[in-house]
Amino acid sequence: MTISLQRALEHMAWANQEIYKLIAELPDEALDAYATDPEFPVREILRHIASSAGSYASRLEETAPVVLEQPKNMAELREMAKTLAVNDARLLKLVELEDKSIEVIREGETIHWLRSTIITQAVHHSIEHRAHAVSALEARGYKKVDLDEFDLWGYELSQRK
């Protein structure tokens, strides 16, 4: 087996679903939790993760991205998790593309990125903001999620069951 980005994407998709599921078990008010910036509460962080996953995939598919709305409650967060699963699956499928430089227009500027850079950024971005969301929850007294349970070691162990 050749080492590839596939394993990282599979872990990302698993961790995203597990963490969204645990957060969705909290009261709706937990979506308003924030660490330091009240303009970036958990509801926005989780929207940002799901929406960005779709945007990264859209860049590689050369399609228009869909911007998601913030979840108003945990029922809407559970629906958003389904959209995130679809977006993560899109990224996983795209890992098979030839790694070549593609043109990306971002904030009016044309930049060229390797496809592998975009996919690797999708993984990093998800990890960064999952930690951000959990930190915001912890800052407001919600202790439902232990990120150590969703590392790559935990993922590999979950696949052995």
Cα end-to-end distance, the chain, whole Å: 21
Query: For 9-61, how does the pLDDT look when each residue is reduced to its tens digit (9 = 90+)?
Result: 999 999 999 999 999 999 999 999 999 999 999 999 999 999 999 999 999 99
Q: What pLDDT, in 10s, does the model give residues 86-113?
A: 999 999 999 999 999 999 988 899 999 9
Gap between the Cα atoms of 15 and 31, Å rounded: 19
Whether this model's pTM surpasses 0.75: yes
What pLDDT score was predicted for residue 3? Answer: 77
Whether the per-residue pLDDT at 154 is higher than 90: the answer is: yes
CB atoms within 10 A of CB 108: 5
Residue 110 pairs in a beta bridge with 105
Read off the tokens for 19: 């963490």
- Please give the average per-residue pLDDT across 126-140, as a whole number: 97
Token couple for 76:
């809407």
More confident position, 110 or 4: 110
